[in-house]
Amino acid sequence: MNQHMLEAARINDGDGLMFASSACIYRQQHDNLNRFSEDQAIPANPHSTYGWAKIVGEVAADAYHTDTDIDTGAVRIFNCYGPRESLDPDSSHVIPSLCRKAIESEDGDSIELFGDGTQERGFIFVTDLVEGMVRAIEKKADGEPINLGKGDEVVSINELAKKIIDISGKDLEIEHDLSKPTGTDKYAIDDKKMKDELGWEPSVSLEQGLRKVYQWAEAELEDSKQEAVVDGGNE
């Protein structure tokens, strides 16, 4: 897919292409919070085939920048979130998943987290991500990848769950399922290059972003409930 997009841009004399890479290209190196800088991607040793696919995409984007007239760039995205994500309880990301759990719980209930909740992340709201990508294609279309994320509000998953519970206004406990996978333990963006070369940083606070996602999820689940009632009445 990445190769087709780059080749289509070349054939059709496109002005440029921004490749959406991922923080998954990095590999955790120690037990403390990892703040990954761009140079830590080499030597490449990601955890997953997804990470390898992103590395190959970055290499291809850089090659097209070198060998053709196309301006290319690559942003390594760290934990984007926002409305319109999947709310499927079996596959959703952590923020929409926790919002759904809180919305569907009653006072006195508990919500479950995978692992012990000490995993740490920095989350970037989707509107900030889009703004950062536009800024990157304007200022950093030199084939060289750059991190894109929010580094000043790193939280543990336990802290994240407490924030969402506070937004819900409910009295909910947190339980942990230590048998479930937790993903990479602790990682966040080293945003120095992003700030220096783009002259930009995200502006939406985690509190603001979580409230937007919670309100969207609440309305979405209520609409689904109403649709189910209507469909049931038509059977």
Ordered by start, the domain boundaries in the chain are 2-228
Q: Tell me if the pTM is above 0.85.
A: yes
Predicted local distance difference test score (pLDDT) of residue 224: 80
**Could you say which architecture CATH assigns to the domain 2-228?**
3-Layer(aba) Sandwich (3.40)
CA angle at residue 126 from 158 to 1, to 5 degrees? 110
Which is nearest to 6 in space by CA: 80, 56, 76, 77? 56
Predicted local distance difference test score (pLDDT) of residue 53: 96
Predicted local distance difference test score (pLDDT) of residue 15: 87
Tens digit of pLDDT for each residue in 128-146? Answer: 999 999 999 999 999 999 9
Predicted local distance difference test score (pLDDT) of residue 233: 59
Predicted local distance difference test score (pLDDT) of residue 234: 62
Determine whether 187 is an active site residue.
no
- Intervals of the chain under pLDDT 50: none
Tens digit of pLDDT for each residue in 32-56? Answer: 788 999 999 999 999 899 999 999 9
The owner of tokens 């543990």 is: 156
Q: Which of 26, 50, 64, 187 is catalytic?
A: 50
